[in-house]
Amino acid sequence: MMNFTADKACRATMLVGFAVGLFVSFIYSSGVLRFSMIEFENVTKKYGDTKVLDKVTFNVKAGEFVTLIGPSGAGKSTLVYSLIGAEPIVSGNIKIDGYTVNNMRGRALQYFRRRIGVVFQDYKLLNQKNVFENVAFALEVCGFEREEVKNRAHEVLAIVGLGKKQHQFPHQLSGGEKQRTAIARALVHNPGLIVADEPTGNLDPDTALEIIELLLKINESGTTVILTTHNKDLVDFIKRRVIKLDGGRVVSDRKAAGYNP
């Protein structure tokens, strides 16, 4: 009798444990329990006397894909530059993984930037280096061993589908291939965050879509992505969180959204 009761109690405990586990994993996957990776808190930025970001406040959880839209001059690129610590702000705070980026300077900022992969519209490749060297260089400057550099560079070039083009120079690549090279370079330090400012701005519609699909694939592996774009079709295709800036202010913040409300 004693054993039977103990057995029942044990089974009940296991059942409750299982139910709690299920509940917690459901809550986690819904995003409620995940901590904010990026925190913008009342961020104001000026160029001269002109306010370009005006009390911008939003949070991004680890693993999110956020598309930043807004008319030309809305402040999207300024927001991106401020996020990566490349532009000082007037007031407010920008945190990544709990670290206040706007207080970082010099070496500390340099090391911190390795957590962030940055991709620009104009690729910013080194023209005298081939695809492999463009990617490897980002590791060499950080003092990695030759073998490590080779392995990691090959790994990220395979992710972006450029394994066969690694000996070609930028002038021998299509726009899409140049952007894939830039994305591979952004991935070398295995960043938790990729920030892409108009990465498809110079590409034809099909190639642009391929680049977006690549960013979505990278996001699926757990990397947070912040993308700025003007391209309505791409935003409608992505259908993730969309933050709209206008005149340096957040005017809307929508989940699983398209370009238009």
Q: Contact positions toward ligand ATP, by CB under 6 A? A: 47, 52, 70, 72-78, 230
> Is there a contact between 127 and 170 (Cβ–Cβ < 8 Å)?
yes
The one of Mg ion, ligand ATP, none whose footprint includes residue 152, by CB under 5 to 8 A per kind, is: none
> Among ligand ATP, Mg ion, none, what binds residue 70 when CB lies within 5 to 8 Å by partner kind?
ligand ATP
**Ramachandran assignment for 227, one of left (phi > 0), alpha (psi -120 to 50 degrees), beta (any other):** beta
Angle between helices 175-187 and 205-220 (to 10 degrees): 20
Q: How far is the CB of 123 from ligand ATP (least distance, A)?
A: 16
Closer residue to ligand ATP, CB minimum distance, 4 or 47: 47
Give the nearer residue to ligand ATP in terms of CB position, either 79 or 186.
79
> Minimal CA–CA distance to 105: which of 91, 85, 77, 89?
85
Q: How far is the CB of 119 from Mg ion (least distance, A)?
A: 13
Cβ proximity to ligand ATP: between 17 and 88 the closer is 88
**Of the candidates 65, 41, 45, which has an alpha carbon nearest to the alpha carbon of residue 54?**
45
Provide the mask over 31-70, with x wherever binding to Mg ion is found by CB under 5 A and - wherever it is not.
----------------------------------------
Residue 12 CB partners (closer than 8 Å, separation 6+): none
CB nearer to ligand ATP: give 120 or 137: 120
Rounded to whole angstroms, the maximal C-alpha distance in the chain is 82
Q: Which is nearer to ligand ATP, 74 or 187 (CB)?
A: 74
Closer residue to ligand ATP (CB): 120 or 169: 120
Q: Smallest gap, in angstroms, from Cβ of residue 25 to ligand ATP?
A: 38
Q: How far is CA 55 from CA 26, 52, 182, 247, in A?
A: 34, 10, 32, 11
> Stretches 18-26, 75-83, 150-158, 248-256: which one binds Mg ion (CB under 5 A)?
75-83
Write the DSSP symbol of residue 103. G
* 82 forms part of the interface with Mg ion (CB under 5 A): no
Half-sphere exposure (Cβ direction) of 184: Cα atoms closer than 13 Å: 31
Size of residue set near Mg ion by CB under 5 A: 2
Helices then strands (H, E): number in the chain?
8, 10
- Tell which one of 53, 69, 77, 225 touches Mg ion (CB under 5 A): 77
Residues of this chain that interact with Mg ion (CB under 5 A) are 76-77
